[in-house]
Copies of this chain bind each other. A is one copy, B any other.
């Protein structure tokens, strides 16, 4: 246990904000609130200003520089008015900022070295009455403020860093991991970082169901369900993938068996170069296939829109290859300057013939139709009878993986932007050792791919 204590102390040493950092943040946040209140005063509207998020709750990890300021308007205000007033206040507070759009517009900008979101919302009576998702946020802060002791806040920081270290932190659609709010809820619910580790390691049997306020009012089909204490109809963990739940369970067990700082701060991977990628493929005896997109319309999408499309397209590619007889060992999708779908196949080439099973001979017209279609086709072997069915061996539509990617990609289910790029032939295919060329951009991803961690 001393070992665990030592490791956690060392982690806290790295993740707890310094006193100077706290002080500076408090001062900056106070100035922001004041500027917002001044801006409201200039308008003939009733509103108050609240801080939300981890820097409001003291659960931020050293070095985080996000300050979230919400301006709450009365629910009687028209939405168009709320947006107009909200942007007005935002632009007043953050004159260098720019507008972004979630459910409604808000202003994002830098202020004294901090990244600030200035978000308008409605001041509803309870989280059940919200008009948009952001209205819920102040309730989260209220709920947690009442429960987070200094010790629990410190454990939240440790837990967040653990999730970052294992690659499971963040509710963005690339990561599909644990949000900050979810991390805080888990620490509060179990009573500390080590208690979360113990539960994840030993007790969790997905689907895991937690309901701190015992008020669930909906059912969810997710591997992890944590009912929002401020909203009985919401699963705070809805975005968390099965893999990330398993990942937390795995590393929680590892940590409890052998506590090490390295789980919190893993060594970054050295990128592989093209030669190394080709060497690894040769060792494995597999055949790689990659499809690469280099188009602004796709790459300009925010990650939360781009990754779901890339994943959907990867699934389509894998299913398409498998439907055409190519066994896929593994696939992945990466995006940086360009976006790629990468698959590793068992074989590069399939025979010229494929087996095609027809109907049972007994099903009169259907059987006669099948027989008639193939009986006089000199390209076809058969029809012959296997069991009680007609079978033919006919020419395979595509015999190489490259050919599939070049000719059949449009026939699989793809994300929307990718579908139109494929439609126009606006993509490049890399097959076999050619895939090595992608290492220039995705060397770290290849390193992860060939030596994957849980």
Residues of A in contact with B (beta carbons under 8 Å apart)? 202, 204-206, 223, 242-243, 245-247, 249-250, 253, 283-287, 325, 327, 329-330, 346-347, 349-355, 360-362, 364, 368, 371, 381-390, 393, 399, 450-454
Contacts and interface: CB of A to CB of B under 8 A. Distances in A.
Given A285-B399, A381-B450, 18 more contacts: A206-B362, A243-B385, A246-B360, A246-B385, A247-B361, A250-B361, A253-B368, A283-B352, A284-B351, A284-B381, A285-B352, A325-B346, A329-B351, A347-B347, A347-B351, A382-B452, A384-B452, A384-B454
Nearest to A353: B284
Contacts of A204: 362
A355 B330 contact: yes
Contact of A390 (B325, B350, B454): B454
A249 B361 CA distance: 7
- Chain B CB within 10 A, most for which of A247, A286, A346, A362: A362
17 contacts: A245-B388, A246-B361, A247-B361, A250-B361, A284-B351, A284-B381, A285-B349, A285-B350, A329-B353, A329-B354, A347-B347, A347-B349, A347-B351, A382-B454, A384-B452, A384-B454, A390-B454
A454 B385 contact: yes
How many copies make up the complex?
Answer: 2
Contacts of A384: 452-454
B246 A381 contact: no
Contact of A243 (B325, B351, B364, B386): B386
Contacts of A242: 387-388
A360 B368 CA distance: 48
- Chain B CB within 10 A, most for which of A223, A285, A386: A285
A320 B300 CA distance: 50
A64 B387 CA distance: 31
Given A246-B389, A325-B346, A383 B454 contact: yes
